[in-house]
Amino acid sequence: MKRACLFFMLAVFVMAISNAAEEVSLVNPGFEADNPEPWYWWGDAGTGTYGVSESSHDGKKSIKIVADKGDYIPMGFLQDFDCTPEEEVTVSAWVMSTTSSPLANSDAYVRLEFWGGEPFNIIKSYESPHLTGAFNWTNSTVSAKAPEGTTKAKIGFFIWNPGTGHSGSVYFDDAKASKKGPVLF
């Protein structure tokens, strides 16, 4: 009986450990450093500016994306991190669009991408709810389980211009990522 009780307690402990979220060490999640690496810009539309001091959620800097060109095209900043299949991944950031330059015919979101295979093809992506217009600092989050074949994940901050006549700008700050492994039994 003692042995069964100890095994049960050990099993519960192992489950708790294996199911605990682990913070991913993103490089420069507050965009305070002068060097933008390893954050990189993706897309040939819009304007992305790293480390602006016009507005920030915490600290002195953020990133800014302006919807000034590119119809029907997403664009944004990304950073890669290690990930394996079955890990539950959560990414988030604080997002804001001012009343003086609200997003019009464009929207902002946080994106989680899972990559794998050769030469590292995208397997699946997920997006937080899209935000548009003017809005105060809002925590935007998306979570998903890494599919089979995943070798890395990406956190991304995007705007999407779903048509023509888009304008406005959006700020992203205080990026976070966490992951937790699958339950072992």
Residue ranges per structural domain of the chain: 22-180
6 falls in which pLDDT band (50, 70, 90)? Answer: very low
> What is residue 3's predicted lDDT score, i.e. its pLDDT?
56
Which residues are bridge partners to 100 per DSSP?
A: none
Residue 138, H or E segment: strand 135-145
**pLDDT > 50? residue 12:** no
Helices (H), the chain: 2-18
> What is residue 20's predicted lDDT score, i.e. its pLDDT?
72
Give the end-to-end CA distance of the chain in Å, rounded to a whole number.
21
**pLDDT > 60? residue 184:** no
**pLDDT > 80? residue 73:** no
CATH fourth-level superfamily of 22-180 = Galactose-binding domain-like (2.60.120.260)
The CA angle 110-115-117, to the nearest 5 degrees, is 170
What span, in angstroms and rounded, lies between the C-alpha atoms of 89 and 113?
Answer: 10
Phi/psi at 53 (5° precision): -110, 10
Phi/psi at 109 (5° precision): -160, 160
**Helix %, strand %, coil % for the chain, to 5?**
10, 50, 40
Q: pLDDT tens digit string along 169-180?
A: 999 999 999 999
> What is residue 90's predicted lDDT score, i.e. its pLDDT?
98
Q: Determine how many CB atoms are found less than 10 A away from the CB of residue 50.
A: 19
Q: pLDDT tens digit string along 18-66?
A: 557 798 999 999 999 998 999 999 886 678 899 999 999 999 999 999 9
